[in-house]
Amino acid sequence: MPRNKDALIRYRVINRCLIDYGVCSKNKLIRACEEALDISPIGERTIDQDIHDLRYDERLGYNAPILFDKDEGGYYYEDPDYSIDKLPLNKEELEGLTFASTMLEQFRGTGLFSLYSGAVQKIINAVNIQKANEQLPFFDFVDFEKVPVIKGSEFLQPLLEAIRHKRVLELHYQAFDRDEPVDHIVHPYLLKEYRNRWYLVGLHDQHRAMRTFGLDRILSIRVVNIKYIAQDFSARTYYRNVIGIISPSGDPPEIVFSVKKRQAQYLLTQPLHESQVVVEEREDEIIFRLRVHPTYELVSVLLGYGCELYVIEPKQLREEIKNLLQHALDCYGK
């Protein structure tokens, strides 16, 4: 059963009293808890239960070494260095934290993580110290994918602040398909990462439609004095029917494609989309179906499978991929 907020506060108050006073009577614990919670009275049975929970409740995991000194009439920690704020970890838990801290370390100097580099460094340092004491491995047998520093990550913090505080922005934006940059007034709703690139999703003030902007194409941003248009925006709903970062309006079509049996194992273990299902399994191929918009990102993913995959439906997507492959073949023919 989950603890309420008052109980969690009492645990911390009791912990602090036992650290600060060494030996602490039940009455002193009651008064300290009453002051912290501004509640009176707190019964003795409540404190008795709290101490029991700190000692024995496996769901809390404190296993606090609390003893009672009959001569002084108070409770104390058998281990004077104990605190619920620095719980001992078993080997499996420490190895799990070591693995997680290794993942954090590779992101430490990039993008949004740079804002919290101090906190990340504290975690890494604490785990490394404990790891050294326990003589645990440094996971040199795990090679994490290195994340490159992406242009535009310097805008993550001001964009995050603008979304949080509902501020309208003017983006000085250089699109890939334009010779000159253009200014856009945007009501920002979401920062989204896709394939190691960050994107801003928001309402375009002029067009009154959702637009997506790559941070690597933003030249500058500034807050403008325009009333923010708030919407009940849900990233999960907005991207429910797409793969990638562009979400067309309307209902998506059913896309059916066949993949050769060996290559299909990758799609069975890591589906392209949550709507993906197996339609039929044949001797040398597996037929899949999913319901998403045929965006550029989807076409790129399907093309990545080369001759191992071919689209069955819809016909328009099948012809598009066929023409792209023919064009690629023609380029090599030159």
pLDDT in tens, 139-188: 555 555 665 666 787 888 889 889 989 999 999 999 988 889 999 999 99
CA distance linking residue 17 with residue 306, whole number of Å: 67
Neighbours of 325 (CB within 10 A): 14
Give which of 123, 93, 110 is closest to 154, Cα–Cα: 110
The crossing angle, in degrees rounded to 10, of helices 44-56 and 26-37 is 100
197-204 sheet: strands from edge to edge? 209-214, 197-204, 182-194, 168-173, 218-224
CA distance linking residue 297 with residue 310, whole number of Å: 16
CA distance linking residue 254 with residue 276, whole number of Å: 10
Give which of 260, 232, 233 is closest to 247, Cα–Cα: 233
The residue type at 161 = E
Asked whether 150 and 196 are in contact (CB, 8 A), the reply is yes
> Span 199-215, mean pLDDT?
93
**pLDDT exceeds 50 at position 2:** no
Q: What are phi and psi of 70, to 5 degrees?
A: -65, -35
DSSP E strand stretches across 134-284: 168-173, 182-194, 197-204, 209-214, 218-224, 254-260, 277-281
Mean pLDDT of all residues in the chain?
Answer: 84
pLDDT at residue number 39: 85
Asked whether 305 and 263 are in contact (CB, 8 A), the reply is yes
pLDDT in tens, 274-324: 999 999 999 899 999 999 999 999 999 999 999 999 999 999 999 999 999
